[in-house]
Amino acid sequence: MIKNDRKKISVFVEEGNASQTLTCFSNEYRSLMHLIADQLMPDDFGECQGMGRCATCKIEVLESAYPLNNFDRNENSNLESDTGSLKIIRLSCQIYADELADGLKIKLVR
């Protein structure tokens, strides 16, 4: 029997009037964008496949128990030009789907 020591994580996602809790193993997906795209399949989401160039995977961070990883160069410039604010808006492709994302509450930004 194979023992799996990977921790399960849960991410609460709001989209419009609906909400859903997504679960996976830590690092099962490269980023939150991949998790959201696979389990929710939103239209026109993650067009650049995680390169941080298109800003179609924007999320609003509603609650996070841990500090999220730092901004990538592409993410920083895309968010500045797209929203004018770096406050709580992130690109989900730049956030790892690891233990630090466990319990995260986000809202898809359209």
Domains of the chain: 8-108 (3.10.20.30)
Output the CA–CA distances (angstroms, integers) from residue 57 to 6, 50, 85, in the order listed. 26, 9, 16
Per-residue pLDDT of the chain (110 residues; tens, 9 = 90+): 556 678 999 999 999 999 999 999 999 999 999 999 999 999 999 999 988 889 999 999 999 988 776 666 666 666 665 555 545 889 999 999 999 999 999 999 98
Q: What is the pLDDT of residue 86?
A: 47
Strand partners, 15: 18
State phi, psi for 70 to the nearest 5 degrees: -65, 160
Residue 95 CB burial class (10 angstroms; 0-12, 13-18, ≥19)? buried
